[in-house]
Amino acid sequence: MINVIAFIHVKEGQLSAFVEIFKSNIPLVLQERGCIEYVPTVDYPSGFPAQKLDGNVVTIIEKWESLADLQAHQASAHMLAYKEKVKDLVDHVVLKVLKAA
């Protein structure tokens, strides 16, 4: 199994617009071969000293059966359309592709 943590840094004031577009794409992603989980999250204040809050970041938690499934996801027509829709809302993306240690 492949785990993905994507930190999507959106431009100031664009969080709601980004989340709306992102959520509209979720049903298509969940139908993809190998998709186990695909969830957008935002920071939740916990009071823990190690937590660094950022109101302009959407963290995507993904699980895929294989790297090939993840690669197919990235190249899918609905993901290419999604990326086009959000390109002016996103500042940058940091991606972590992980496997169990």
In a domain, 90, yes or no: yes
pTM: 0.94
**CA dist., res. 68 & res. 34, Å (int):** 9
Q: What is the pLDDT of residues 36-69, one digit of tens each?
A: 999 999 999 999 999 999 999 999 999 999 999 9
**pLDDT at residue 66, rounded to an integer:** 97
Residue 48 counted as domain residue: no
The answer to whether residue 26 sits within a structural domain is yes
pLDDT of residue 90: 98
Would you place residue 28 in the very low, low, confident or very high pLDDT band (cuts 50, 70, 90)?
very high
Token representation of residue 15: 């969080």
Angular region, 6: left φ>0, alpha ψ -120 to 50, beta rest: beta
Q: Which two tokens stand for residue 17?
A: 């617009």
Q: In 3-state terms, what secondary structure has residue 69?
A: helix
Q: CATH number of the domain that 8 lies in?
A: 3.30.70.100
Q: In which band, very low, low, confident or very high, does the pLDDT at 9 lie, cut at 50, 70 and 90?
A: very high
| In a domain? residue 27 | yes
**Domain ranges, residue 9:** 2-43+53-98
